[in-house]
Amino acid sequence: MSASKDLHNNRRNYTKHELTEHKISPNPYEQFGWWLEDATNDGIIEPNAMTLSTATKEGKPSSRIVLLKAFDENGFIFYTNYHSRKGREISENNAASLLFFWDKLERQVRIEGTIGKIEVHLSEKYFSERPYESRLSAIVSEQSEEVPSREYLEDRLEEVKQQGEIKRPENWGGYILKAEYFEFWQGRASRLHDRIIYEMENGAWRIKRLAP
């Protein structure tokens, strides 16, 4: 069976919305909030799902989907294992990017900035609010490490259940990406898409339009 497939004719014409300078917010966080609300109201499954891209100190990139858990003008917060591949890469290179893609709305948002850990008490609070099984999994999983089998993880899960009190592992917690750049992309007809960017210059956001 051939593994090749020709996708040249897979096309879609984007016609649902437009993005113009006189309709956007001067604040990119507010603009993001509007679009996230649209995605939520439109019934998109997990509208807070985002592609997080990190890189080693040598610049070798990697990407994965994580869930945005909070945002404000201080940045965008997500949680993970600090010893995971992304955690290791963040520790040696704190430059990273986020990508949101909401296909039903024909929109995407790129956000670039630097990442650091959030305060411990915030990680403690969120961990305590997670479902019981999710807290167990955070303890059981040495994320990104090789394991011998699925059964090994399930056996570890049962062991942890017998331990009683469930505490946040020190190697699990939150990160915050502090944004320096936003790009809002709106699909338009005939591939003449709208691209509006916000760049921080001298302490203020400057808005520009890019060619599609």
Quote the strand ranges of the chain, DSSP E.
49-55, 61-67, 70-72, 75-81, 95-102, 107-117, 172-186, 194-201, 204-209
CB 71 within 8 A of CB 113: no
Mean pLDDT, rounded, for 177-196: 96
pLDDT in tens, 88-111: 999 999 999 999 999 999 999 999
**Where is pLDDT greater, at 203 or 31?**
31
Q: List the catalytic residue out of 135, 188, 191, 206.
A: 191
pLDDT at 1 over 60: no
Q: Where are the alpha helices (DSSP H) in the chain?
A: 28-41, 85-92, 120-129, 132-140, 150-161
pLDDT in tens, 36-59: 999 999 999 999 999 999 999 999
Fold of the domain spanning 21-125+173-209: Pnp Oxidase; Chain A (2.30.110)
* pLDDT number for residue 141: 83
* pLDDT number for residue 109: 98
Active site residue 85: no
pLDDT at 85 over 80: yes
CB 181 within 8 A of CB 112: yes
pLDDT at 66 over 90: yes
> Judging by beta carbons within 10 Å of its beta carbon (0-12, 13-18, 19+), is residue 162 exposed, middle or buried?
exposed
Query: Distance of CA 61 to CAs 11, 28, 53, 114, 151, Å?
Result: 28, 26, 7, 15, 31
Mean pLDDT of the chain: 93
pLDDT in tens, 140-169: 888 778 888 998 888 888 888 888 778 999
Phi, psi of 31 (to 5 degrees): -60, -45
* pLDDT number for residue 11: 81
pLDDT at 21 over 80: yes
pLDDT at 184 over 70: yes
pLDDT band of 181, cuts 50, 70, 90: very high
Query: Distance of CA 178 to CAs 71, 76, 196, 208, Å?
Result: 10, 7, 19, 20
With pLDDT > 90 as the criterion, what percentage of the chain qualifies?
Answer: 74
**Out of 1-5, 91-95, 101-105, 124-128, which region has the weakest mean confidence (pLDDT)?**
1-5
